[in-house]
Structure 1
Amino acid sequence: MEISALFSQVHSLPCIPKVAQDLIQQFDNPHTNVDSIARNISLDPVIAAKVLRLANSARFRGSRESASVEDTAMRLGFNTLRTLVLASAVTGAFQAPPGFDLKGFWGHSFQVASISRLLAKPRGVAVEIAFTCGMMHNIGELLIQTGVPELAERLNQNGKDMGAAQRVALETLQLGFGFPEVGAELARLWQLPELIQHAIAYQSRPTQAPADMPLPRVLAQAVSIAEALRQYQGDMNKALETLQGPLFDGLDVASLLDELPAVLEADKGFAELLG
């Protein structure tokens, strides 16, 4: 099966609001005007409401509450504002397939996003870009759920505790591709920057990514850490025992796990606020 065939089987491709599209076009523009972005956000009442709700959450609120999008833009800055808008737009673009745990799906996605941000910081990788990659790392799975529901249902039923690598392998065996390739293609159609497309595409094979692309490795590590925490129900000591091997060479996993609970606590309401 070709990826194009999968996309043709999805009756209504997910789309994102114009304000998010405008932000995407300005990812690499160093002269972006935050005030004009705030005005554009205010024109979309759904996105504006979500952005204000997120800005006033425990993760972003700070010492005072934001009363307007303009105030949020001034307080948080462009990079964080862009993250909030994209998070709101992406989660709102998908409908839950029947019987699919969409809340759990986004909960996992935002956990990977939080871990990606933490991993990116000491490497000089843009933390909000890393967060966006983590948030979107498995959006291809939602299209597989919609486009080939019979296969997806079998995988859902038979692999409730299946890790990402095994899921990708089984999808590739059946379809010729897995959710990373599908997600990367959707990111391309949405005209997201190539570094995000590549991070999503190479997450299950980061050693094959170009040497100057650290994001696939960051994403692969974040997914592995999130899966270990899920497997051991948040027990950091047991998770640490499994987070070994070449993927984690050069990474002080123990120190990272020490920092992680505070990060996850700050971000834990993210998915619920976007629901």
Structure 2
Amino acid sequence: MDIEKLFAELHNLPSVPKVAQDLILQFDNPATSLESVARNIERDPVIAAKVLRLANSARFRGAREATSIEDAAMRLGFNTLRTLVLASAMTGAFKAPPGFDLKGFWLNSFRAASVARVLAKQGGKDADAAFTCGMMHGIGELLIQTGAPEYAAHLHGQAGTAHAAQETLQLGFGYPEVGAELAKRWNLPKLIQTAIGYQARPSLAPDDRSYAFIVAQAVAIGDALAVHGGPTAQARENIEGPLFDGVDLEKLFAALPAVLEADKAFEALLV
């Protein structure tokens, strides 16, 4: 099987809602106002409901309840809105096959995205772009689960670079390449395509390799956090090797507790 055949067998290719696509473009436009973003959010009832829920959550709730999208947008701000819109768009685009833990998948993706954002900030890279790459790093896995069930059953339960290598051996490609192809078909920026496609071999990425490295690092750290119950000393000890050359892991792990705690409000809205 090749990637073209896989995509040909997918009768309903996942798609990002038009409103979400417009919003993501709006967030990248420095001339965008919160008022115009709020008007666009109002066009999608699912995203609008999540924005209101988050604005009235314990983390963001003010002296009075936010009753309009514009009020909620003002309270949350651009960065928080961008995170919520992206997460909502991604989670709403896919339907998982029976037996696949879709909520767990997105929680893992969100954790990787949160770590990627911290890595990017510490490395002087675009934190929002890194978050997007981290959030989307595993989308190829969902397509393989849906489009190649005969292989997905055999591969289920493995993770990370080893998973990608095993898929490549079995299929001739792995979930990073599938995810990059989907990102290409969604007309997402080349930076995102490259970061997703080369996450298992970031040193081979063309042009700017930094985001492929960030995704690879974020996934490895996210796995360690999951195994050891958060940013513990044991999780820190599990992170080593040349992949992390140049990363200040002590500084990173010092920053993670606050970041992960702050992001819990988003996790409740993912699926």
TM-score (structure 1 length as normaliser): 0.90
Which amino acid letter does the alignment assign opposite residue 257 of structure 2?
P
CA distance in 1, matches of 2:66, 2:77: 13
CA distance in 2, matches of 1:110, 1:98: 22
Q: Is the 8 A contact 1:202 1:208 kept in 2?
A: yes
Q: Which moved more, 1:93-102 or 1:211-220?
A: 211-220
- Corresponding residue number in structure 2 for 1:202: 198
CA distance in 1, matches of 2:56, 2:180: 31
1:180 to 170, 176, 195: 176
CA distance in 2, matches of 1:142, 1:33: 34
Note the C-alpha offset of 1:79: 4.1
1:41 aligns with 2:37: no
Structure 1: gaps (5+ residues): none
Which amino acid letter does the alignment assign opposite residue 93 of structure 1?
A
The change in CA–CA distance for 1:167 and 1:132 in structure 2 (over 3 A counts) is same
SS at match of 1:274: coil
CA distance in 2, matches of 1:128, 1:62: 24
The change in CA–CA distance for 1:235 and 1:18 in structure 2 (over 3 A counts) is closer
Which amino acid letter does the alignment assign opposite residue 213 of structure 2?
R
SS at match of 2:246: coil
CA distance in 1, matches of 2:214, 2:127: 11
- Corresponding residue number in structure 1 for 2:251: 255
State the number of aligned residues. 270
1:164 to 157, 160, 163: 160
TM-score (structure 2 length as normaliser): 0.91
The change in CA–CA distance for 1:78 and 1:266 in structure 2 (over 3 A counts) is closer
1:107 aligns with 2:103: no
CA distance in 2, matches of 1:4, 1:211: 25
Q: Is the 8 A contact 1:51 1:88 kept in 2?
A: no
CA distance in 2, matches of 1:120, 1:56: 29
Q: Is the 8 A contact 1:188 1:197 kept in 2?
A: yes
Q: Which moved more, 1:39-48 or 1:67-76?
A: 67-76
- Corresponding residue number in structure 1 for 2:238: 242
Structure 2: gaps (5+ residues): none
The change in CA–CA distance for 1:137 and 1:94 in structure 2 (over 3 A counts) is same
CA distance in 2, matches of 1:235, 1:25: 33
SS at match of 1:112: helix
Q: Which runs of 4+ in 1 moved over 6 A?
A: none
| Residue identity (%) | 63
Note the C-alpha offset of 1:62: 6.4
CA distance in 2, matches of 1:213, 1:80: 27
User: Which one has more relative contact order, counting CA pairs under 8 Å at least 6 apart?
Assistant: 1
CA distance in 2, matches of 1:243, 1:3: 33
